Structures are given as C-alpha cells and as structure tokens.
A and B are shown apart, each in its own frame.
Chain A
C-alpha cells in the first residue's frame, strides 16, 4: 500500500536518545537538498547503515543528477541499525527518508543499490520496514516502483522477485529516464504492468517479471531467463554505458556527513573501467570500456570539491587510479597545491611496480604509514592463470622502492581457492611475504620494525567473469589450505589474516543461484539474518538452518561447477563482454596463458566496444 507523504520526524525524534549514533538519522547535513518540491519523488537507498552508505559514489551521482531536474526530487534513505529498527517496529513507525522524513513507501520510485551479495537480506529488511509489498508482482497499482542498480546486478536473480526493474551499467541519465517513464506512465493512467513494459524498452533496464525462468537439459539446475510469451522484451539486456566520463559532473558528492563514515573524504572518480583483465574480477569485466577524466577536469574538481565540502582529504577513485594516463601529473600538481593546506590526497590501490610506489609517495608524501599491494597469488604460474600480469621481480622492485621511500609496513592481498591452485601455490604466498620482509630488513636495517601483513580472501567465482563456471572450495578444504599457508610462514615479521570462510561461502551461494535463490534469502531473513556483511552480525548457523528448511545444501550450491556450454542463470543480462570471450579466457587460464591490457596493447576481443558502440576513452598515452 502506498503511504501518505508526510513529515514523520516527530515520531523518531524521541527515539534518538535511545539509540547508538543518533546522528545517523538527523539529515540537514551540509550539501543535502532539503527542498523537495517534487511533484515526482524518488528515494535512493543504500541497504546498510548511514555510515556505510553515505560515501557510496553511485548514489551521490544519482542524487545530484535527479535533484537538478525540474519536477523530480530525490531523497536518501539508509537501513537503520538494529537498535533503531527494533524501536521503529515496536512503535509501528515505517522506514523514513532523510530529507523530508517521509515514509519510503510514499515515494514514486525507490532505488536500491546492490552493493554486494551480502546485502540481500538487508533488502528484505528495507522493504519490510518500509511497508512495501515484498514481491514486485504482488504490489498494488499505486505502490512505489522498486528499482535496483549497482555493482551486483549481474546476477541479481536471487533478489529479482523484489524488484520491478533493474538498471544495468552506468546510472547517469538512466535513472532520470526511468523516472520520466514512470512519471509519464502514471500521468497517462497506465496500468503498472504497462509502465513496466515501457521500462523494459529503456537502455540497460531489465524487468524481471516480464521473464520466465526455464530449467532444461541445456541449463544448470537454476535455469535461465527467457521473455515471457507474448512480451516484447529483449532476450539479452545490455548495460547502459556512457561514452565519455568527462561529460559527467566530476563533483557528485556534495553531502558532508556529521559523523565519521567509512570513507570520510571527498571522492573524485578519475576513471571508470579497467582493462587489465584479471580473470576473477567482476568489476574488471562489467565496467568496461576504460574512460578517463582529463587532468584539468580532475584538478578543477578536487579544488572545487574541497572548497565546497571542507574536507581535508581527497580520494582519486577508480578501479586502478595509477593506470590513469596522467596520474603522475595529477598527483604532483595536487600535492603542490594542497600539501601546505594540510589536505591529503589518496589513491585507493597501488599498481604493483615501482611506478605504483612513486605514485603512492606523491599522493601521501608526509604520511608514510604503509603501502598495500594485491599480488593475489603466490606463484607466477597461478598469477598467469588469473591473468594478474605482475612478476616476482615487479613485487621485489616495488617493495625495495617502497622501503627506500620510507615505508615500513606493507600489506599484501591474496586469494585462496583460485582455479588450479595447489599447496605449493599457497606456500608461495608465505615465501613472497617473507621475501618482502627480507628486502625490508636489507633496506632499513636488521633491527628496523618492518612488518608485512598478508590478508587472504577466499576466492568466490563471480558471474560475468572467465571463472564463472568454477566452483568454490568446500569449507573443510578452505580450512586445510589456511593451515598449509600458516605452517609455511615462519618469519615473525609476517602477519597473516584470513577472510571468514563461512561468509565467503554465502557470498558464493548467492553468486551462483538463480531466481529460486530468493526462497533462501527470504528464509534466512525470517531466520533473523541481516547485516550479513557485519562480522558481529553474521550468523552462519541461521543461514544453514534456513537452507536446510527448504531442502538446500549451501556447500553443494557454492562448490558446484557449471558446464562451459551450459545456459547460465545470468545469460539474459550482459555488460557487453561476450560469453565467447569469457570461455576463451577460461581456456587460456587453464593453459596458463596471459592476455594483455587493451589500453596499452591491441584489442583483446572482449566484445564491449562492438556491442555497446563505445571505445576506450583515454586522456593521454598510458605507460
């Protein structure tokens, strides 16, 4: 049922003194758009607490863009923490937006970010707390249209029944088109299903209810989606893709929070897409092609953003900032301008070579705390399998350069459970970490307190990657391999930490399943699962119980390998990278053959440019 649009802040205000971090619920932050005249109202939502959701750049882009449009207003909402949601339920208060404190269920469109697989139960929680009918096909005519977007839409089938539409790819212009389509359809008195049909004709928009799931001998047990009989919708929905990042507003993030949020700084997106071709990386496949923002636009944006926000730190964000063709010039220029003002410039990831270290030094200058690299695998053989085009020599040179530049701490990210991995590859992780520690002692002296921390994640096969057919490690085997690595590391300067195997297993389950996965998500939520990405909230037993209750075995699902020719649950949505390319990359992985980066070499034939009629858009020559 659509709720009335009214300011209900008075109902949550008495609760503020009873909850942790009341500033999550206040609104009125600097830069928030408080005037929300509408008459068409959109609410964009991150399905986690404010402190995690506010820094999300995707939502900031949509918020900024929609609020510039005449007749459309955009507000925000986040999932209240468990203390607040318990009080709200007790007092029958629905989930409210921040700006106008109106019920989320009073909006015309509710847009929800699928940030990662582990937010699935939070989405159920959001809809339940809002009072929006859970299943899209059971919603009343006047209820909000619930739309998904974000990095995890590529296999969103396990949550698809909750969404009226899903936006694939770049959000710029697309949510505006969706809003206009719903607004015009409502104004014309169209039935909900007819508005959905119109939405399905927009670029990058997938409407799950217009597709049936078929299970047959060509598919996995999760089936594949085909247009419902009589529905004129595309068999494959390709993502919406902007051609030039430079055509978009570089300072999208205008809201300055009161409380400390997870990334408490100005973020300027300097490039989108990455063509390095790491075979495990979903973002690398789904954000192609590479589009760089030119240097002058970045400098202007950073200065303007810092001035209007008051932040003392700026992050140059992207999947691989040090790959930007003008990275060195940007960093040197920014440091010259901002260093004396106590403003820090940070880059989220370092390229694993000396250039990466130089850039990190240029960005941080006086704060030489530690550097983070991601070799991902401990042996050259396995790095070739995953197409991580770095060598032991790159690692050694980067480490030496970093220690010579004054760094004393190094953090290395690895994955375990990668396809073809052996115990020897795992021992290679420990060997690499010890070699880096040894280089540190050579450069800094034997008594220097050099530390090398290694963080080892469990590999989760993600859809739309060359490893999408692969199975995940069973829990027992994961624990055994963790033990192998632990035993191999003897240097006291090396510290090892692991990702939780159970959490990764759930991630793997939700990455693999088709639409029937919604039964599991719903059962888990009914079992009390929410905030699954929070270590202190995640409860594997509840997930296990939920799965058993509906006749599923979690390990069996996550560890299943798919046939290379099988029709997959996500074949009907595409980022433009062809399935043929992914299959070829899988075969090359098995053969330990690497594939080059097309921004520095010739085309690798992934299919994005031809399919989406776009191309890499670089601001200069890459080095």
Chain B
C-alpha cells in the first residue's frame, strides 16, 4: 500500500546552475527544466488555458552569468510520486550543469515560490585590484546614502539599499576580494550582486554564485524551502 500523502502533490526540487550553463538566461533555464521533466516521464498537471502548459513554478530569476547551488522549482502533479525516484529520473534527464540536487514532496497549496523565497545568500569574487578597505568604505558610503542608483539597459533605476542588503562580509583571498552577501527581495525590488559591486567598486564581479535561498519570517528567522 502506498505511504504517500495524497495531498502532497507538489514536488519541490533544488538544482544547481554552473559551468558554461551559468550563461543561460532565466527563460532558457525554465525551458530546459520543463523539457527535462518531460524527458524524465514525471506526471505533471497541465493548465487549462488557451495554451496548455505544464504547471510549474520557479524561484526568482538568477542573473545571466551567475552560478547557483540553490535554485528551486515546484512541479504540480496530479498524484504524489516517490521523491527520491523522481529525483533519480530527473538527474538522468537533465544536463549535468543544471543537475537536480534534492527533491521533496510538499503540500499542494503553498504560496508561489518566486514571492515566498525572499532571502538570498551570495558568494561573490572580485579579482585583482579591489582593496578590501576601499570596498568597505565605499559600501558604507552607499549605505549612508540609502539608495543605489544604476542603469538597467538604458533606463535609470533606484533601489533601497538599506532594506535589500542584509549584510556583507568581505575577506581578502588569493583569488581576490571575496564577498558573502545576504540580500532581501522586497516589493520594490531586489539587489543583484553585480549592481552592488559595479556601484561600490566600479568593476564587474568575476564570479557570482547563489548559495542559498530562504523565506524570512516576520521575526527574522529563516525558513528553508525543503
């Protein structure tokens, strides 16, 4: 007899994005994951709209060029499956640089992943020439101003740095200046590491990796997606 909870029809999968595939855009990753699900032969719900599509949800877009070990998607299924077996099938059918790492069955009714996962930790590397103290001074000056002003394409943007940057630890390493950033997504926007680095240090980061995503409770505690 099956021991699967009949209400647990949401398969949440953590996957990575690294190597060359770090250069994929969000839509490209979504398309690849959906095709991997189809190849894996997993059951999935189909929307009833004009265009019938797989019912799947993704977390917030990762910038093009950034790696990650903490990407998530939720697949809505008509019936629960064994999560470990589903993970094995997905691994078999997914390009290694987007390999699924963990999977769990969750209740069907949950808030959308994109809005729910609002806290992120980033590992950022700035190679050569950026002095740690200079960076810290620049960051403090930016925090004192309160907002970051930057260009997205040819449009000027503003972002509240105080509410979107939770913390920043800088340390010098052999490869360059390493930053561990904790950021928060708010209704008014979220902070991208490259935007911060560009504004504070005037250069591009050589490496950006999303290390973790969580939901922040009102009391400030963090809740893991799995």
Contacts and interface: CB of A to CB of B under 8 A. Distances in A.
Interface of A: 9, 13, 16-17, 22-23, 26-30, 256, 258-260, 306-312, 340-342, 366-367
A111 to B, nearest CB: 25
Contact of B39 (A13, A308, A341): A308
A319 B34 CA distance: 31
Contacts of A308: 39
Given A27-B20, A30-B95, A259-B28, A310 B35 contact: yes
B41 interface: yes
Contact of A30 (B35, B54, B65): B35
Most chain A CB within 10 A, of B27, B38, B53, B97, is at: B38
A26 B35 contact: no
Contacts of A258: 21, 24, 28, 31-32
Given A22-B64, A307-B39, A307-B41, A28 B97 contact: yes
A256 B35 contact: yes
Contacts, number: 76
B20 A17 contact: no
A343 to B, nearest CB: 9
A312 B34 contact: yes
Contacts of A366: 50, 52
Contacts of A26: 20-21, 23-24
A22 B19 CA distance: 13
Nearest to B29: A258
A309 B35 contact: yes
A334 B37 CA distance: 21
Given A26-B20, A258-B32, A310 B93 contact: yes
A342 B54 contact: yes
Given A16-B65, A17-B65, A367-B51, A312 B38 contact: yes
B54 A22 contact: no
A26 B47 CA distance: 32
A259 B64 CA distance: 13
Interface residues of B, number: 30
B182 to A, nearest CB: 25
A23 B97 contact: no
Given A30-B35, A310-B34, A312-B38, A260 B27 contact: yes
B202 interface: no
A443 to B, nearest CB: 21
A9 B19 CA distance: 12
A258 B38 CA distance: 15
B204 interface: yes
Nearest to A32: B95
16 contacts: A17-B65, A22-B23, A23-B23, A23-B25, A26-B21, A27-B20, A28-B95, A30-B36, A258-B28, A258-B32, A307-B38, A307-B41, A310-B39, A340-B46, A341-B46, A366-B52
A310 B37 contact: yes
A342 B52 contact: yes
Contacts of B93: 310
A5 B64 CA distance: 30
Nearest to A26: B20
B222 to A, nearest CB: 31
A366 B46 CA distance: 13
Interface in B88-113: 93, 95, 97
Nearest to B64: A22
Given A258-B31, A307-B38, 20 more contacts: A17-B23, A17-B65, A22-B23, A23-B25, A23-B28, A26-B23, A26-B24, A27-B20, A28-B20, A30-B32, A30-B39, A260-B28, A310-B36, A310-B37, A310-B93, A311-B35, A312-B34, A312-B38, A342-B47, A366-B52
Contacts of A22: 23, 64-65
Given A23-B24, A26-B21, A310 B38 contact: yes
A28 to B, nearest CB: 6
A9 B41 CA distance: 34
A306 B93 CA distance: 13
For the complex of A and B, the 8 pairs showing the least CB-CB separation, nearest first, are A310-B35, A310-B38, A310-B39, A342-B46, A22-B23, A342-B52, A258-B28, A26-B20
Nearest to B37: A310
Nearest to A27: B20
Contacts of A340: 46
Contacts of A260: 27-28, 31
Contacts of B39: 30, 307-310
Nearest to B93: A310
Contacts of B21: 26, 28, 258
Interface string B182-200: 0000000000000000000
A408 to B, nearest CB: 13
A30 B24 CA distance: 14
A569 B155 CA distance: 55
A9 B28 CA distance: 21
Interface string B53-67: 110000000001100
A604 B35 CA distance: 47
A88 B50 CA distance: 44
A29 B25 CA distance: 14
A259 B23 CA distance: 11
A30 B204 CA distance: 31
B14 to A, nearest CB: 20
A28 B18 CA distance: 12
A525 B194 CA distance: 39
Contacts of A9: 20
Contacts of B28: 23, 258-260
Contact of B53 (A23, A310, A342): A342
Contacts of B52: 342, 366
Nearest to A366: B52
Most chain B CB within 10 A, of A23, A306, A341, is at: A23
Contacts of A309: 35, 39
Contacts of B36: 30, 310
Given A28-B97, A310-B36, A342-B53, A17 B27 contact: no
